[in-house]
Amino acid sequence: MSHYLLVYRRSTGQLQEIHDLGSDRKTALKRRFERERQESGDPDIEVVLLGASSREALKRTHARYFKDVRELATELESVLPH
**pTM (predicted TM-score):** 0.86
49-80 confidence digits (pLDDT tens): 999 999 999 999 998 899 887 888 888 888 88
* Number of structural domains found in the chain: 1
1-35 confidence digits (pLDDT tens): 999 999 999 988 899 999 999 999 999 999 999 99
At 62, which helix (H) or strand (E)? none
* Burial class of residue 58, CB neighbours in 10 A (0-12, 13-18, 19+): buried
The answer, yes or no, to whether residue 47 has pLDDT greater than 80, is: yes
pLDDT of residue 69: 78
Domain with 67, as residue range(s), is 2-79
